[in-house]
Amino acid sequence: MFPAKLRRFNRSVLRSTIPYQHCSRSHASTVKQFTAKPLSPSIISEEKRRQYIQQIWLAKEAKEITIDEIAKKLGYTNVYTAQILNLQAPLNPEKACELCEILGFTIDPIYSEILEEMQKAPKRRFDQQILQEPNVLFTYRLLEAVQHNAESLKQVVNEKFGDGIMSAIDFHLNVSKIKGAQGEDRVVITFDGKFLPFIEQKIDNQRTVDQENAQKNQ
């Protein structure tokens, strides 16, 4: 059932908003209306961004739920889920009510602000200090592993796919925990990206574009 104030909107508007009928009454009032596309860009300050992220993770800790558990409920990879919680990836509006339930967001205005921000196109960024040992040793070693194997990785990819790169946009990233041959814990990080071949830059194609531009300018 939609809140009374929403019934005044026409059906075309309601179809483009978050599915309030899947929210509990308390959470329905927390989630604002957002269309799926286009996304508004994030313009909040760094201080406000850090405040929102802190509130999100405090809510997660209060619910005593893991990233994997949240990811399973939302249908995402665990790393992408963490990116959403860190305001590094946008939250699908259709998942907003579900995330309210998962994290126990209340009708406090701060959570409404956070949900609004989570559904915007984020400022994807990272702190340069995170790459410097000994600030975050895990990140430093991960970067080291990629750098030391980068040339060999490229050669293997070239042999299997051709001349091109792995997309970091059409891309899935997931972390798994397995047991090794000696019973030790092992980390498995899966980079799953679409292969993007470099194009053959033929002069005929450029001439066609130039001709079209010339015709438009006549």
Contact 118, 91 (CB under 8 A): yes
The answer on 138 and 68 residing in a single domain is no
Number of structural domains, the chain?
Answer: 3
User: Would 205 be classed as within a structural domain?
Assistant: no
* Angle (deg, nearest 10), helices 46-63 and 109-118: 110
Going 58 to 135 to 82 to 186, the CA torsion angle's sign is: negative
Q: Does residue 150 have a pLDDT over 50?
A: yes
* Residue 35 confidence (pLDDT): 43
Mean pLDDT lowest among 5-9, 74-78, 186-190: 5-9
Residue from 141, 176, 207, 212 carrying the catalytic annotation: 141
Confidence of residue 165 (pLDDT cuts 50, 70, 90): very high
pTM metric for this prediction: 0.77
The answer on 177 and 138 residing in a single domain is no
pLDDT averaged over every residue in the chain: 83
User: Would 204 be classed as within a structural domain?
Assistant: no
Contact 92, 13 (CB under 8 A): no
Q: Is 162 left (phi over 0), alpha (psi -120 to 50) or beta?
A: left
User: For residue 68, which amino acid is it?
Assistant: D
Contact 173, 80 (CB under 8 A): yes
User: Would 22 be classed as within a structural domain?
Assistant: yes
The answer on 27 and 78 residing in a single domain is yes
- Residue 167 appears among annotated catalytic residues: yes
User: Would 176 be classed as within a structural domain?
Assistant: yes
- The predicted-structure confidence for 42-93, as pLDDT tens digits, reads as follows 999 999 999 999 999 999 999 999 999 999 999 999 999 999 999 999 999 9
What mean pLDDT comes out for the span 22-49? Answer: 68
- The predicted-structure confidence for 100-139, as pLDDT tens digits, reads as follows 999 999 878 899 999 999 999 998 888 777 777 666 888 8
The answer on 54 and 21 residing in a single domain is yes
Confidence of residue 26 (pLDDT cuts 50, 70, 90): low
* Residue 83 confidence (pLDDT): 97
Q: Does residue 208 have a pLDDT over 80?
A: no
Confidence of residue 37 (pLDDT cuts 50, 70, 90): low
Domain boundaries, position 189: 163-199
Residue from 24, 26, 40, 167 carrying the catalytic annotation: 167
CB atoms within 10 A of CB 190: 11
The rounded distance, in Å, linking the Cα atoms of 189 and 6 is: 44
The answer on 167 and 153 residing in a single domain is no
Q: Does residue 211 have a pLDDT over 90?
A: no
The answer on 146 and 49 residing in a single domain is no
Q: Does residue 149 have a pLDDT over 70?
A: yes
Query: Who contacts 163 (Cβ-Cβ below 8 Å, separation ≥6)?
Result: 197, 198
Residue from 40, 144, 186, 207 carrying the catalytic annotation: 144
The answer on 156 and 168 residing in a single domain is no
